[in-house]
Amino acid sequence: MSISVIVPTLLRPLTNGEKRVSTHGNSVAEAIDNLERQFPGIKARLVNAEQVHRFVNIYVNEDDIRFADGLNTPIKAGDSLTVLPAVAGG
């Protein structure tokens, strides 16, 4: 079993238009590194200076990883990773 990743419209040009892709890893950081191998360029949109990029929210199942262990949040097969662009502005 792998980890399913839900990709927002903004990043689908990097995933060949796919909304759902799958990857693997034991933490969010590992999953993102594996995603980067599959879809080069995606990591820079998700991570900045070893932190979740301020322009996106990343959730493991229901939980925003900023309120867990950030990129070190553990994941296991069967979990889902959802990426949503943050909605913010001035």
Partner 1 sequence: MALHIKRRALEQVLAHARRDHPIETCGIVASSLAGQVATRVVPMRNQAASTTFFQFDSREQLQVFRSLEERNEFHQAIYHSHTASEAYPSQDDVEYAGYPEAHHLIVSTWERTKEPVRSFRVLHGKVIEESISILE
Does 8 bind partner 1 (CB under 8 A)? Our answer is yes
To partner 1, the closest distance from the beta carbon of 52 in angstroms equals: 10
Task: Determine phi and psi for 50, rounding to 5 degrees.
Answer: 65, 15
Q: Which DSSP string do the residues of 27-60 spell out, in sequence order?
A: BHHHHHHHHHHHSTTSHHHHEETTEE-TTEEEEE
To partner 1, the closest distance from the beta carbon of 82 in angstroms equals: 7
Does 62 bind partner 1 (CB under 8 A)? Our answer is yes
Question: Interacting stretch for partner 1, rule CB under 8 A, among 20-28, 31-39, 57-65, 70-78?
Answer: 57-65
